[in-house]
Amino acid sequence: MSRYINKASSPDYLFISLLFFLVIFGLVMLSSASSEKAQDQFGNSYYYVNHQIVYGLSIGLVGFLVGALVYYRFWEKFALPLLLLSLALVLLVFTPLGLNIKGGERWVAVGPVSFQPSELLKLSFFIYLGTWIGRSQSRSQSFGNGLIPFLFLVGGVMLVLLLQPSTTTAALIFTASILTYFTAGARLRFLVVAVLIAALAFSLLVYITPYRLTRVISFLNPSVDELGTSYHINQAQTAIGSGGIFGVGFGKSTTKLNSLPEPIGDSIFAVIAEELGFVGGILLIFIFLFFVWRGLAIARAAPDTFGRLIVTGFMSIIGLQAFVHIAAISGVTPLTGVPLPFISYGGTSLATFLMMSGIVVNISRYRVGRR
């Protein structure tokens, strides 16, 4: 049987269906998690949902359509300019345009509009990484021409993010980069070297920065400083435990009212687990797993290395971010400030992940098949 490429065939409708289930589910759960807070702050129970639709979903749908309709090799031509533009936007957080929110320089404000450039960096970086690796097979096999430049490339991006500081985003990009590099055929010893270097660097970083060390200590012993550093994780686990098997019912969470920090962002899975219970939480996890699996299936059937690598990068960052959010809120890993993809409040995040998904859909139209 010979291999062939389906030119502009039908897209992967299962992937699209899973994507829009997550988006719609996210808006529904955001309406529940944010209603009381929005009413108290703005006199409008749907303020955050409306804001998410206007600044996240509407822009994201445009990005999704652009990604789905524009031939994916188009992005290869502009990979470097897109990466440099994203890095320049990230550096703007250190200028007067940057917003310092809760000790982090992660937002840029232009008039009434604010956004997180690091989210856009996720998109452009994996387009560039797929382009860079895909242009030479030796970059996944050579130490001097492959691993060393790869580490400098990833390390440079991580350094910019760590300065904000945005430790979790840096760690997610590194891990997804390693998975992408492995997909390209990198030698196992290269991956071991990269992981060891990263582990040593992160361990040193945690040790020399008190707030990061405090998070690790709180994870290891949640009873330490229960009203301070351990408060967030304790309240999140209380919310999850309160949900039981089937939950307290949609909109009936009590911890979101005044005790659970960041119920619309970093803690939204705790609200989901409280209102929909263990069953609802597990079903959401399976939907994410199915979504990522379907995306990786598209990557395997991609017609070229570039397509395969950028889909792997996109799906890795989405899957890893979902895992880290759920694991942190459940007490499996140290607490982080990472949103749940497609569900947590954040227009830039939603728009970026929708555009990533659009590009994946476009690549699914050119998948390799058999006859």
pLDDT (tens digit per residue) in 31-76 = 999 998 899 888 999 999 999 999 899 999 999 999 999 999 999 9
Residues 306, 129: Cα–Cα separation, whole Å: 9
Residue 210 has, within 13 A of its CA and on its CB side, a CA count of 1
Q: What is the pLDDT of residue 7?
A: 64
Residue 156 has pLDDT above 60, yes or no: yes
Nearest to 205 by CA among 168, 150, 154: 168
What does the pLDDT average to over 142-165? 85
Enter the tokens of residue 252.
């009936």
CA 84 to chain centre: 20
The pLDDT of residue 127 is: 97
Question: Per-residue pLDDT for 104 more than 80?
Answer: no
pLDDT confidence of residue 356: 97
The HSE-up count of residue 359 (CA atoms within 13 Å, CB side) is 26
Residue 371 reports pLDDT greater than 50? no
Give the residue among 23, 313, 295 at the shortest CA–CA distance from 154.
313
Residue type, 349: S
Q: What pLDDT is recorded for position 103?
A: 54
Q: What percent of the chain has pLDDT over 70?
A: 90
Q: Which residue has the higher pLDDT, 140 or 250?
A: 250
Lowest model confidence (mean pLDDT) among 10-14, 150-154, 312-316: 150-154
The conformational region for residue 44 under phi > 0 = left, psi -120 to 50 = alpha, else beta, is beta
| Mean pLDDT, rounded, for 193-206 | 82
Distance set, CA 157 to CA 141, 153, 181, 190 (Å):
22, 7, 16, 19
* pLDDT: which is higher, 226 or 215: 215
114 phi-psi bin (left φ>0, alpha ψ -120 to 50, beta other) = beta
* Neighbouring residues of 252: CB distance < 8 A, sequence distance ≥ 6: 275
C-alpha to C-alpha distance for 267 and 123, rounded to whole angstroms? 24
Contact of 31 with 49, CB cutoff 8 Å: yes
Rank 31-35, 92-96, 283-287 by mean pLDDT and report only the highest: 283-287
Q: Would you place residue 209 in the very low, low, confident or very high pLDDT band (cuts 50, 70, 90)?
A: confident
CB 116 within 8 Å of CB 346: yes
Distance CA 140, CA 135 (A): 11
Of 286 and 194, the one with more pLDDT: 286
Query: Are the CB atoms for 308 and 319 separated by under 8 Å?
Result: no
- At residue 190 the predicted structure's pLDDT band, cuts being 50, 70 and 90, is confident
- What pTM was computed for the model? 0.91
SS (H, E, C) the chain: CCEEECCCCCCCHHHHHHHHHHHHHHHHHHHHHHHHHHHHHHCCCCHHHHHHHHHHHHHHHHHHHHHHHCCCCHHHHCHHHHHHHHHHHHHHHHCCCEEEECCEEEEEEECCEEECHHHHHHHHHHHHHHHHHHCCHHHHCCHHHHHHHHHHHHHHHHHHHHCCCCHHHHHHHHHHHHHHHHHCCCCHHHHHHHHHHHHHHHHHHHHHCHHHHHHHHHHHCCCCCCCCCCHHHHHHHHHHHHHCCCCCCCCCCCHHHHCCCCCCCCCHHHHHHHHHHHHHHHHHHHHHHHHHHHHHHHHHCCCCHHHHHHHHHHHHHHHHHHHHHHHHHCCCCCCCCCCCCCCCCCHHHHHHHHHHHHHHHHHHCCCEEEC
- pLDDT of 84 > 50? The answer is yes
* Cβ atoms of 222 and 234 closer than 8 Å: yes
- Whether residue 301 is predicted with pLDDT greater than 50 in this model: the reply is yes
